Amino acid sequence: MADRATYHYCPRCGTALAPRHDGERERLACPGDGCGFLHYDNPTPVVAALVEHEGEVLLVRNQGWPESWLGLVSGFLERGEGPEEGVLREVAEELGLTGEIVSLIGVYGFESRNEVIVAYHVRAAGTVSPSHEIAAVKRVPPGRLKPWAFGTGRAVADWLARRADGSAP
Ligand SMILES: [Zn+2]
């Protein structure tokens, strides 16, 4: 998953953007004649999958991540795609697996990346064949899963808590 850089130039007309106060907050705006583009910079939704495969959870390390990092399969939605459709596409693209949605785990703000994570529990079948975007796949039994403190780690913690109290499959 690539970072989305903020705009420096107007995506409509190419003029350098400049700060402008719109009455509520300062935003980057296009000073170009008659353009009127305003860069709202709203958070982008990201779909994430806690992938359960043959009773284990599959964590992935994306290319370019530090060696010790592992996370959930995640990605941006394509235009015209719903979140459930998008997360199953990411599971197919990144791991080569056919998945089905078990449940929505939760929705989590990820303010430092200007994203909102929509995390699902996905049960997947097939033979794991990672895409070139994936540097490593690690299989972890649910009992040995340790949630990390940021981003998709909060979904892992919620999923484990619900499994422990019997309120989720
Ligand atoms: Zn412009």
What the chain holds in terms of domains, given with CATH numbers, is 1-41 (no CATH), 44-164 (3.90.79.10)
How many whole angstroms from 45 Cα to the centroid of ligand 1?
Answer: 25
- How many whole angstroms separate alpha carbon 60 and alpha carbon 136? 6
Structure tokens at 134: 């994936």
How far, in Å, is the centroid of ligand 1 from the Cα of 116?
Answer: 27
Cα–ligand 1 centroid distance for 28 (angstroms): 11
Residues 6+ positions from 29 with CB-CB distance below 8 Å: 17, 18, 19, 20, 22, 37, 38, 39
Contact 84, 90 (CB under 8 A): no
Residue appearing with tokens 């056919």 = 98
Residues of the chain with pLDDT under 70: 1-5, 169
| Per-residue confidence (pLDDT) for residue 166, from 0 to 100 | 80
The model's pTM is 0.89
Nearest to 100 by CA among 80, 126, 125: 125
